[in-house]
Every structure is written in structure tokens, then in C-alpha cells.
């Protein structure tokens, strides 16, 4: 992926965040893209609104996903 492709992706992510921010208090977009034949995945992100609200939202989501995985493992072990 060259610099112009990266700039295009960054602009897309930012534009989508701006559009969503018209309707929401906070927006945090996290995306990844595999870099062609390389064994590298590149991440892109953009956020708008209260930083601490966005951070709390991400932490809550991570906590819920961790618990979901624990519950799934317990259920699988019980079967």
C-alpha cells in the first residue's frame, strides 16, 4: 500500500466519522486492512467527541467481549 492509498483510506475513515458525528455524541472508528502480499495488517482510526466517553465505550465493549469468550469456553468445556 502506497502513501496515496493510505491517505485515501484515512480520508474515507475521517469523512465517515464526520458524517456519523452529525447524528451521535461520540464516534470512534477502528478499521484494519491487510497490506497485499505482505504479512502486515495496517490499522486506521478516527474519533470525534468526548475522548473519555469514547475510551469508556471501547473498554466496555472489550470487557463484554472478554466475558462472552469466557462464557463460551465454559459452555464448550461442559459439553
Domain boundaries, the chain: 3-78
Sequence-distant (6+) residues with CB within 8 A of 18 are: 48
Q: Nearest-CA neighbor of 27 among 11, 48, 45, 10?
A: 48
Which three cell numbers, joined as nine digits, stand for 79? 459439553
Instruction: Report pLDDT for 2.
Output: 86
Mean pLDDT over all residues of the chain?
Answer: 95
Question: In the Cβ-directed half-sphere of 46, how many Cα atoms lie within 13 Å?
Answer: 14
Question: In the Cβ-directed half-sphere of 78, how many Cα atoms lie within 13 Å?
Answer: 6
**What is the tens place of the pLDDT at every residue in 60-69?**
999 999 999 9
Q: How many CB atoms lie within 10 A of CB 52?
A: 9
This prediction has a pTM of: 0.81
Instruction: Report pLDDT for 34.
Output: 87
Amino acid at each position: 500500500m502506497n502513501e496515496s492509498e493510505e491517505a485515501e483510506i484515512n480520508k474515507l475513515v475521517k469523512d465517515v466519522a464526520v458524517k456519523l458525528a452529525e447524528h451521535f455524541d461520540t464516534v470512534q472508528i477502528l478499521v484494519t486492512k491487510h497490506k497485499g502480499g505482505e504479512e502486515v495488517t495496517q490499522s486506521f482510526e478516527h474519533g470525534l467527541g468526548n475522548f473519555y466517553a469514547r475510551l469508556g465505550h471501547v473498554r466496555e465493549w472489550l470487557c463484554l467481549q472478554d466475558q462472552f469468550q469466557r462464557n463460551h469456553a465454559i459452555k464448550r468445556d461442559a459439553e
